Amino acid sequence: MSMNIAIDGPAGAGKSTIAKRVAKELGFIYVDTGAMYRAMALYILRHGVNEKEESAVAAVCDRIDVALRYVDGNQMVLLCGEDVSTEIRKEEVGNMASVTSVYPCVRQKLLSLQQDLAAREDVIMDGRDIGTCVLPDAPLKIYLTASVETRAKRRYQELQEKGQTCDLTEIMKDIEDRDYRDMHREISPLAQAEDAILVDSSDMTIEEVVAKITDLAKERMA
């Protein structure tokens, strides 16, 4: 039987960074569900679909093919066969994903792919509703968070390192808006599962968070 780890939390909490490191430590497959939603959002952006109309988004869902591939241990995100791993990290794609991920047609399309993978492999999966909806029976669930200020500063530094012009106040406002949307959406809102362990990384290093989650996983596996 496969061992699954679910990591949920708000935007900018470091879920992907932490999950990748823990996966490497444990020899698990890392599944970036946010990247899958971003790939769908990228398609919607590219094709000028009105994201505010659910019917318009639903009309193109069947045309969107999202897949994950692993090459030398690294995850590639494919959109209709094209590697979009880098392009989906743009800010406008993340904001579009936050808007369109509320629609049942989008969520249902990706849910079965995620659950099938988890049934076959030892996976660590991160997102907004992994412990509550996607992998409700996962032996280990983590709710990873950090203050809005901390998350905004991390994102600001990340964008600066990439040479992108950015404004800290604007990033903080974007994060607050995304938190509100994610926590108040009708379908699968962001919430801490009852049996999830809360990890606040505001005053923790990446290494400390990775060590904590890795230790918890080893305890469950034992």
| Rounded Cα–Cα distance for residues 40 and 29 (Å) | 22
The response to whether 12 counts as a known ligand-binding position is yes
DSSP letter (8 states) at residue 138: -
Burial category of 194 from C-beta neighbours within 10 Å (exposed 0-12, middle 13-18, buried 19 and up): exposed
Whether 178 contacts 98, CB under 8 Å: yes
Task: State how far the Cα of 40 lies from the Cα of 107, in Å rounded to an integer.
Answer: 10
Eight-state DSSP code of residue 128: S
State yes or no: 11 annotated in a binding site: yes
As a whole number of angstroms, the distance between CA 17 and CA 80 comes to 25
Sign for the pseudo-dihedral over CA of 125, 139, 100, 40: positive
What would you report as the CA-atom Rg of the chain, rounded to the nearest whole angstrom?
17
Give the residue from 10, 2, 1 showing the smallest Cα distance to 198. Answer: 10
Strand pairing of 197-200 and 140-145?
Answer: parallel
Known binding residue 13? Answer is: yes
Confirm or deny that 169 is annotated as ligand binding.
no
Identify which of 34, 2, 8, 3 has the alpha carbon closest to the alpha carbon of residue 192.
Answer: 8
Whether 15 has a binding-site annotation, put simply, is: yes
**Known binding-site positions:** 9-17
**Known binding-site positions for ATP:** 9-17
